[in-house]
Structure 1
Amino acid sequence: MLSGTTLGLLIVLAIAFLSTCAQNSQARLTLENGLKSKVYLSPKITQTPGSVSNKFYYDIDFPKGHIAIKSFNAEVVDEDGNPVSLKETYLHHWVATRYYQRKGIKNPKHSGNFGFHQSDFISAGNAGVCNNGLTQFFGLGSETRKTSTHVPDPYGIEVGNPLEVPNGYEEKWVMNVHAIDTRGVVDAMGCTECRCNLYNVTEDEYGRDLKPDYVGGLYCCYDETQCKLKNGVEIVKRNLYLKYTVKWVDWSDAVTPVKIFIFDVTDTWQQNGIHDCLVEFNVEKSKSNDFISTRRSNASFPISGDVVYGVAHLHSGGLGSALYGEDGRVICASKAIYGEGNEAGNEAGYIVGMNTCYPKPGSIKIAKNEVLTLESSYSSEKSHTGVMGLFYIMVAESSSTLDASSLIHQESEIPIFFWGVGVFGLAIFAAVMVSYMRRRQSEDGYHSIAN
């Protein structure tokens, strides 16, 4: 039997341990005190009715230093800072990615995409899985205003780490903004779907002939193309900007890093073992009473870890997307939110938001080399051209490789509230035990020895 002194000591140590755990849990889960935020504007985007702007802006304004990105939000605004309706300028997509530029080299102009095929410029994109393109860290389209990009505590997207920058280079960011002016056009939705007949295009932006069966997509609505206008439309020029807001915290040991992965429903991996992502596809009009067209693809996941965030990117007509694990479990399901009015952010007929997933930490795990399935669904009441089926997830990498046979695992976590209840209860227990021991000592005739 434990003596009163030993029992008391154990109780005190247990209380101290639980108190420390509660304090550490609170510190680990709270980063908001150091949250910083800044609003930036892209270079000026000049448009006229029916015009297309699809430019790459290099060395954009971005927070400096070794930081953890907590969110990246964007929207199109006019020169007065007012939000612009999708019914006037359709935001096909915006993406932002990181690159390294050799010091002393003149910055590229804000113009077309020169690529990263020169030794002076090195792409520093996301963690995969596509081999060609889709290297962005952030990127959305018409849904940008009502889609959350917040990275929950204690996680963050690590950038600006000087140890990762190649010697003689510096870290920079490039942004691609694809905006289509639909004022006065004959077919607004057709213009947003880049239907080739509306753009009177037979060659792509590099002068290559389009295939006869290519009826719509990015090859027909490149920079400075023009969508067909109604007769008598007045050509009014205006300047717009992509306003983007970045929130971040300084990097510290309190932040758990996450990696960004992008999946594409056009990925060819299942057919040829290569993650060639074709980016866009067409949806044919249904010939039956089933007006849902679903496309699927598979991808092998390169690491093991916990899913922190997930969201899909679809175009008008999109219904939703879901990412499934090898055992059929749902990793994340993301549905389209359509507008119901005319005001910016609620435009009827357009996707104005996508549902996001924020799994409980540790509840959704992916094993290394696990084969995931992406499923994207569109309405097929009518045909759609140049649509996309992308899926973003953020993953906190595991320190050890997960076994595929134990993919579903719920970590035991005790909320901070219950730590407090436990400490309080243990304190009461300690008091009761001390009182009980003293009473027993008195009853048994034992007395403390005075020095």
Structure 2
Amino acid sequence: MVLLLAIVLLAMNSEARVTIDENGLKTMVSLSPKVTQHPGSVSNKYYYGIEFPKGHIAIKSFNAEVVDEAGNPVPLQETYLHHWIAVRYYQRIGTEGTNSNANFGFHKSDLIVAGNAGVCNHGLSQHFGLGSETRKTSTDIPDPYGIEVGNPLEVPFGYEEKWLLNIHAIDTQGTVDPMGCTECRCNLYNVTIDESVRHLNPNYVGGLYCCHDGEQCQVKNELESVERNLYLRYTVKWVDWSDSIVPVKIFIFDVTDTWQNTGSHDCIIEFDVEQSTANDYTSTRKTNFQFPTTGDIVYGVAHQHSGGIGSALYREDGRTICSSMPIYGNGNDAGDEAGYIVGMTTCYPKPGSMKMTKGEMITLESNYSTEKSHTGVMGLFYLLVAESSLESNYPVQAHEELKVPIFYWGVAVFGLAIGAAVLVAYRRRKRTEDGYQPIIAA
């Protein structure tokens, strides 16, 4: 039976399952290419031309989780999902690139990234992405809204629309310090150079530069190294595009954005949290920026790593736009792993009730616990904004907030992962010495 399930799942790589409900909502469940791991190993690859719905459509949700060859969810204590991201791009017709590589397999002119509407100058160009919180974070988009993709009028002449996945997974089985491995502490990986063979700053203690593709976290001496194949199982829900759908734009904000000091949206993406007993064990990081458009907030969620205690966006007058809190696990089962963030709470304002004005000054705040030090953490915030305003009494699809026991609530104040939020996409070229750079180039 297990073998049969494995064969079925593997077959799904070439032919995704699609179902349609009575309201016309379509659902596709598919698998990424296999991710081969062994204790302590790191995989951070890019998979181009993945299975994705075709045509002019409105995306209603995008969820994902790591599963084994039998289709069983894999707990974070075994494989930590730092982040997964899905990126839309245009590929020149007649060109071919690699399906699995640590770098782009295309000439720059053959590929155009169709990024989101976020303000960061480089990176964070994904449409979708989360991290360890992926199983218990809602991504549903209420009616009448949707993320518009597949519009033939938006595809450059001579190109076709495609999608890629970036999956960053760390196998922590048998490691001497599992949480340290997930935080990419350089001493555990014995790394002093990045993947571009550039020497790291001596003050760089941990982060993405130390756990790139192919690296190995320190394991116990007596451990036997056994390989296994895993997959990112992702579920996309959508409806065919129609005039009744109100399009939303995707904005991703980063608490490391330098705009308030430099006037430029250079987003460093990751930062460290020092251990301290001061300020009630709380480290608060803030940044200010001008809201980039006029419209209504439809959805919001934060992305944080372990140690996060909440994040929020505030208006000029101090009113909260959206606060998002981490949900920590309490056990050992997949989706309830103790010590890990297994979900983030979300915001669903009533249609037309949370109006933003272009140029309005906004504050993003991200809080972390300082009971322990943390490296390579993130403070991202995802928003969906409708530039076509609706009245607040517009009939809207019901959405039920997650009802999950929470291990650690902090001060209410976003997260890849994209742990992998976030997620996150980054530029490997044009690096700065200390920043966490984009995975992909525009």
Structure with a larger share of its residues in helix: 1
Report what 1:149 is aligned to: 139
Which residue number in structure 2 is paired with residue 4 of structure 1? none
Amino acid at match of 1:216: G
Matched, 1:203 2:183: no
Which residue matches 1:310? 300
Question: 2:41 and 2:329 mapped to 1: Cα distance?
Answer: 24
TM superposition shift of 1:128: 1.2
Deviations 1:255-275 (A, max 9, x none): 100000000000000011111
Query: Who is 1:45 aligned against?
Result: 35
Q: Which residue of 2 aligns with 1:319?
A: 309
In structure 1, give the amino acid aligned to 2:363: T
Q: Name the Cα RMSD after superposition.
A: 1.6
- Structure 1 segment 12-161 matched on structure 2, within 5 A: 33-114=23-104, 118-161=108-151
The higher relative CO (CA closer than 8 Å, separation ≥ 6) is in 2
Superposed CA deviations along residues 243-302 of structure 1, whole A, max 9, x for unmatched, are 000000000011100000000000000011111110000000114262000100112222
The Cα shift of 1:412 comes to 5.2
- Structure 1 residue 59, shift from structure 2 partner: 0.8
2:166 is aligned with what amino acid?
N
Structure 2 counterpart of 1:71, one-letter code: S
Residues in 1 aligned to 2:227 and 2:139: alpha-carbon distance in whole angstroms? 32
State the TM-score, normalized to the length of structure 2. 0.83
The Cα of 1:413 is off from its aligned counterpart by 2.2
1:393 aligned onto 2:383: yes
Q: Which runs of 5+ in 1 are unaligned?
A: 1-30, 400-409, 417-451
Q: Tell me the residue number matched to 1:182.
A: 172
Would the aligned equivalents of 2:351 and 2:392 in 1 still touch at CA under 8 Å?
A: no
- 1:189-245: CA deviation from partner (whole Å, max 9, x where unpaired): 000000000000000000000000000000000000000001110101000000000
Q: Distance in 1 between matches of 2:207 and 2:283?
A: 18
How many residue pairs end up in the alignment?
Answer: 376
Distance 1:414 1:351 in 2: 34
In structure 2, the CA distance between the partners of 1:386 and 1:115, relative to structure 1 (3 Å rule), is farther
Structure 1 counterpart of 2:355, which letter?
Answer: K
The answer to whether the aligner puts 1:235 opposite 2:215 as a matched pair is: no
Deviation sequence 1:5-41 (CA, Å, 0-9, x none): xxxxxxxxxxxxxxxxxxxxxxxxxx97110001010
Question: Could you tell me whether the CA contact under 8 Å between 1:304 and 1:398 is conserved in 2?
Answer: no
Matches within 5 A, 1:234-273: 234-273=224-263
Q: 1:117 to 1:317 in 2, by over 3 A?
A: farther
Match of 1:290 in 2: 280
CA contact (8 A) 1:59 1:107 kept: no
- Given that 1:55 and 1:112 are in contact with CA atoms closer than 8 Å, whether structure 2 keeps it comes out as yes
Pair member with larger Rg: 1
Contact in 1 for aligned 2:96/2:106 (Cα 8 Å): no
The alpha carbon displacement at 1:371 in A equals: 1.7
Q: d(CA) in 2 for partners of 1:83 and 1:157?
A: 28
Runs (4+) of structure 1 moved beyond 6 Å?
A: none
For structure 2, the 5+ residue unaligned runs are 1-20, 397-442
Alpha-carbon distance between aligned partners in 1 of 2:393 and 2:212, rounded to the nearest angstrom: 50
CA contact (8 A) 1:309 1:395 kept: yes
AA matched with 1:74? A
Q: Secondary structure at the match of 2:91?
A: strand
Contact preservation (8 Å) 1:116, 1:123: no
Q: How does 1:332-351 map to 2 (within 5 A)?
A: 332-351=322-341
Question: 1:274 is matched with which residue?
Answer: 264
Name the CA shift for 1:398/1:252 in 2 (closer, same or farther; >3 Å).
closer
Change (3 A) 1:283 1:250: same
With over 3 angstroms needed to count, the CA separation of the structure-2 counterparts of 1:103 and 1:414, relative to structure 1, is closer
SS in 1 for 2:346: coil
For residues 32 and 157 of structure 1, do their structure 2 counterparts lie closer, same or farther at Cα, with a shift above 3 Å needed?
A: farther
Shift in alpha-carbon separation, 1:333–1:117, aligned structure 2, 3 A? farther
Equivalent in the alignment of 1:224: 214
What's the offset of the Cα at 1:411? 4.4
Deviation track 1:154-202 (CA, whole Å, cap 9, x = no partner) reads 0000000000000000000111000000000000000000000000000
What is the distance in 2 between the residues matched to 1:412 and 1:89?
Answer: 43
The Cα offsets for residues 321-362 of structure 1, whole Å up to 9 and x where unpaired, read as 101122221111000000000000000000000000000000
Q: In the alignment, what sits opposite 1:413?
A: 393
Partner secondary structure for residue 271 of structure 1:
helix
Partners of 2:278 and 2:387 in 1: CA distance: 45
Counterpart-to-counterpart distance in 1, 2:252 and 2:242: 26
Number of the residue aligned with 1:212: 202
Identity of aligned residues (%): 73
The change in CA–CA distance for 1:414 and 1:370 in structure 2 (over 3 A counts) is closer
Q: Residue 28 of structure 1 corresponds to which residue in structure 2?
A: none
Range moving further from structure 2, 114-123 or 189-198: 114-123
Alignment CA distance shift 1:350-1:114 (3 Å): same
Distance in 2 separating the partners of 1:61 and 1:414: 35
Question: Map of 1:425-436 to 2, 5 A cutoff?
Answer: none
Q: Pick closer, same or farther for the CA change 1:328–1:32 going to 2, 3 Å.
A: farther
